[in-house]
């Protein structure tokens, strides 16, 4: 685990990292790897090193949907992020045989619409948020992290499709518990579930989580303060 989350080399200009929309090859654009390589013109700061590759993690909903298929969303079943942490979709959460095969003991439902199918069999916690740019999902980070830490078993984290909300929670857990950068956590999770793509706002909140001690200093995500907080975080 620690080796897989090793430090990534290279520096990237901060403005490009934070605000560049990296379009995927499925629409005929350069791959994130090509964009990342082209951007390595270096400002040499410690902040840019912390955030290398951030731009390649951000999605634009306008191009995401055509690239996905039902098969790619399901990917056979929930994926193991850590021996006690699984990531999946609403469909996975409704598959009792699949949950039992993975040894799931608790389910973290990161949606406002997916039902808790087996409340008599598993411990459930619901985070009723929508996948949109206005949601402050960071307000739920600590509760979600505590559930994973204290469940004593295996936790499935899911949302509707297992792409944005549940992936954000898994990334927050890795950032906080393993003390890794956002790009490191993102690459680690994406290797296991290739369709993850948190929305831009969620990525910004994860970025602040990785830069701020959010248990002591409130994340500046209130309306009108996000960019100010991001600026303070980066510089």
Secondary structure letter of residue 139 according to DSSP:
G
pLDDT of 137 strictly over 90: yes
Q: Confidence class of residue 229 from pLDDT cuts 50, 70 and 90?
A: low
Higher pLDDT, 27 or 171: 171
* pLDDT score, position 232: 55
Could you tell me the CATH number of the domain that includes residue 174?
Answer: 3.90.190.10
Least confident of 53-57, 103-107, 145-149: 53-57
Higher pLDDT, 36 or 198: 198
Higher pLDDT, 192 or 217: 192
Dihedral sign for Cα atoms in the order 226, 228, 233, 235: positive
CB atoms within 10 A of CB 129: 19
Q: Which residues pair with 108 in a beta bridge?
A: 125, 157
Q: Which of 12, 70, 17, 38 is closest to 200 using CA atoms? A: 17
Higher pLDDT, 182 or 58: 182
Secondary structure letter of residue 90 according to DSSP:
H
Considering the domain boundaries, does residue 7 fall inside one?
A: no
Domain range enclosing 194: 14-234
Q: Which of 99, 149, 147, 105 is closest to 126 using CA atoms? A: 147
Q: Confidence class of residue 211 from pLDDT cuts 50, 70 and 90?
A: confident
Extract the tokens encoding 216. Answer: 């002591």
pLDDT of 17 strictly over 60: no
Q: Is 86 helix (H, G, I), strand (E, B) or coil?
A: strand
Q: For the CA atoms of the chain, what is the radius of gyration?
A: 17
Higher pLDDT, 82 or 64: 82
Higher pLDDT, 177 or 26: 177
Considering the domain boundaries, does residue 8 fall inside one?
A: no
Extract the tokens encoding 7. Answer: 């430090």
- 115, HSE (Cβ side, Cα atoms, 13 Å): 5
> In terms of DSSP bridges, do strands 104-109 and 123-126 run parallel, antiparallel, or are they unpaired?
parallel
Considering the domain boundaries, does residue 22 fall inside one?
A: yes
Higher pLDDT, 93 or 4: 93
Least confident of 10-19, 82-91, 183-192: 10-19
Q: Which residues pair with 104 in a beta bridge?
A: 154
Overall domain count for the chain: 1
Report the catalytic residues.
Answer: 159
Burial of 194 (0-12, 13-18, 19+ CB in 10 A): exposed
């Amino acid at each position: 685990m620690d080796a897989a989350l090793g430090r990534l080399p290279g520096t990237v200009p901060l403005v490009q990292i934070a605000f560049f929309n990296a379009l995927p090859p499925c629409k005929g654009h350069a791959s994130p790897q090509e964009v990342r390589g082209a951007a390595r013109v270096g400002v040499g700061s410690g902040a840019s090193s912390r955030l290398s590759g951030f731009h390649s993690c951000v999605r634009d909903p306008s191009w995401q949907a055509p690239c996905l298929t039902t098969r790619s969303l399901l990917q056979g079943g929930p994926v193991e992020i850590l021996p006690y942490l699984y990531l999946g979709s609403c469909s996975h959460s409704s598959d009792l045989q699949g949950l039992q095969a993975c040894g799931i003991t608790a389910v973290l439902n990161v949606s406002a619409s997916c039902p808790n199918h087996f409340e008599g069999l598993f411990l459930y916690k619901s985070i009723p948020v929508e996948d949109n740019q206005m949601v402050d999902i960071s307000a739920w980070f600590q509760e979600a992290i505590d559930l994973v830490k204290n469940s004593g078993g295996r936790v499935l984290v899911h949302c509707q499709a297992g792409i944005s909300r549940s992936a954000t929670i898994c990334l927050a857990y890795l950032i906080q518990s393993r003390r890794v950068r956002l790009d490191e956590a993102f690459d680690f999770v994406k290797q296991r579930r290739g369709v993850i793509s948190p929305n831009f706002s969620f990525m910004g909140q994860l970025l602040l989580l990785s830069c701020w001690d959010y248990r002591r200093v409130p994340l500046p995500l209130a309306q009108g303060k996000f960019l100010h907080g991001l600026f303070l975080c980066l510089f």
